[in-house]
A and B are shown apart, each in its own frame.
Chain A
């Protein structure tokens, strides 16, 4: 297919346009916006696909905008080596003409020939739609703004498929294939839902349910039949048993056995009653006999009682007399013992007094001595005390002590030291008067010649005859003299203070004081030795001793023992006293024993006395009772009555023994049990029989009721029904399986067929796509033939999510590929792109140029664009509107 030229007149916005000499490869048609590019494409479509006679909306838009009313399109094209000229006029004076070398058509024949040449069908729809299919050829033309929508095949899919069938042969089966697929789906739809599940009204399911229902019902019926059969068996069994009972006469036998047992029991009862009567008579006689016996026994007991009481009384009287005598003897003994004890007590008292008096005398003597000693010691001590007072006074008169003497010594020492120093330092004057010159010392004393006098202070010596010489020691001597004076003064003051004339005297006085102190200490020690407790204490003791002595003397005086009596020794007195005490104690214990004896005897006597009284009363009462009884019935009478009662009882006993033997023979208990057993047996037999009759009747009733219910027939019928039903299920199962298999097999084959012819498109796309988007491939939907996704490096990107640029590029290359495939199949194929790459960036546009050049080697490609520069460098023929 090769479009050679296009002429458009009075077509919508285009008044006149003529493009001639299109190349067989790439062509660029440039026009500004509103220049009519899209209208040009519309006109081309109209020429090929629009019936020239058409009216209505589809052609109304062909109406020219200015002047004229006969839109006209003329196309020159080459197809399968034949050059055609096509011219169509619309709306007014409609016309169509197709001519080629050696032929020409006009009118409707042109439309039919076009459809044949371009392999499309005219729509039969009254109202034409924009996307109505115009054959595969038309699909290769991309309207402005539609490139981003992918292949955008839409409703044209089936037709495209049909169109493509041309080059993939009968692969797709065509209309018949689609019909068979639908039919298979319908067959499958009888059994299965769209999701492959069992359909609710599937005939197979219905048949299976029917089968199950019959089976269930059959099970129930069989069960019922079994029960019925059991009932029948039971009825036969019950009837047989009833007959056995009757044949054996079980019931009447049991009845007569009961009657016999009852008669035996009656007889046994009689015997038993006779025995009971005899036994009660015996009991009565025995009672009488026992009463008589008791009365006799009572009388004898009473008599024995009287005797016994009398004996006891006698014994009691004897005991009393004995106790009384003994008591009297004991009293006498006690009197004696008391006397003895009193005498011995007195003896003891006297011995004690004597011993006491002796002891007191000793005591008084000792205390007197003690008093004398104390008095003496006190006197000595008092003398020593007086002495000490005097000595203390002397000591204190001396008024010196060691310290004072030491101080005095020290002052003396100092004075001597000063004197020595002065002596050394002071000038020594010696007067050696001539003749008898006299030298008088200031003191008026005459000084011996040749005497060296040490002058320690200015001293005026009167030298007779001369006058007065004053010597004054100078320098050191003067101060030393002063010192010496001070020391002398100090000493003097000390001595004065202590009343001593000189240090020697002071020392002598100190020695005296020491001697006195020693004597004081000695006196003190002496007193302490005499009276360790002190003087006052000693005095107090002396008073106490004195008082004690007075008391002792008084005590002694109290004792009525004259001191003048000759006194035996201590030991003797003590022995006497001990002996007396022992005697007295012994006497006391003897007296005590005698007293206790009396107490015991008194109790015995009292007891015996009261026993005697009691027994006497008892004997009297019993005696009276016995006399009264004897008076009423004598003992002999009682004895005779007992004899009679015993005889009667013997007779009654013999009667009872007889009846008991008879009773034992008939055994009333056994007879009674026998009756009970027989009665129970009869009851059971009757019950059994009744139960059997009842059951028989009930079974007969039940079976009669069920007799006509045709259960056996039902079972047989259902069993037979199951046979064809199971065959039907088998058949339907096979049909269901077959329908599924058929449908699946057809679907698989169809899918594979599609794969088969989608393959070439994909193969064609691949090299173009690699130019634009390396390592990518497109994914076409088998069903819709739409571009589903772009797969880049294994990552799938849904087509509608790609950028607008990518979408239009992919769509254009897919379209080019499709055109290749169609062309190879001998279809007319020319690609027209109306501003199809407006979203593409420069780099990719560059690549798209290569794609277009590549495609144009085999295909005619016409690019309509408003951007000349985008395609300027392509070097393709350029047409301007």
Chain B
């Protein structure tokens, strides 16, 4: 859309050289930003300017830019992925802002997500939680059974699928006042707990994944519901209740 007046923005961006250094908010002025550009494109424009000036560009995570990879992880104006619901940062557009706005851009804050550089955090804690039990053991020796051969009630299949839409972006952790990973962990547990294929390893799965999440340093769940509101996939905290139930069941049973 040509002719629309660009936005003049004041950006307050967290700059930090590496995990060890202290880091601080730096202020940048960026003018004539198209309202049609995405938030990440806006940062690309800023980085081009910084590179032209010989300064180091702002590091930020991104990959697919279509809302499914979960890489873009920015805490924008006090909310994960900025204003707007059910979107990742790449799906946020500059038309959500006004001319003259000041925009705060910070990395996810959590003990379990250490900063690598600037706005990039290390989210490998999520991988380790997955490795602890976010799978089913299927023999793949050549005579693997088709998963669809097992009839599953539509309601459960849908709920399992909803849980499985988690992209592991970490917005739940970023939004939570306790940096709890409960929504992520519970979604990964639920996607199996709701299906017959997941039953065999159900007990150890919940015990090991919860244990790993706590070992990584994610906090307890206060049931504030902030995660559910900020989740780009709208994953319900009903999954957290299910995790609590599964954990109790697994703990009581031998």
Q: Please determine whether chains A and B interact with each other in the same assembly.
A: no
> Chain B interface (Cβ within 8 Å of chain A)?
none
Seen from chain A, the residues whose Cβ lies within 8 Å of a Cβ on chain B are: none
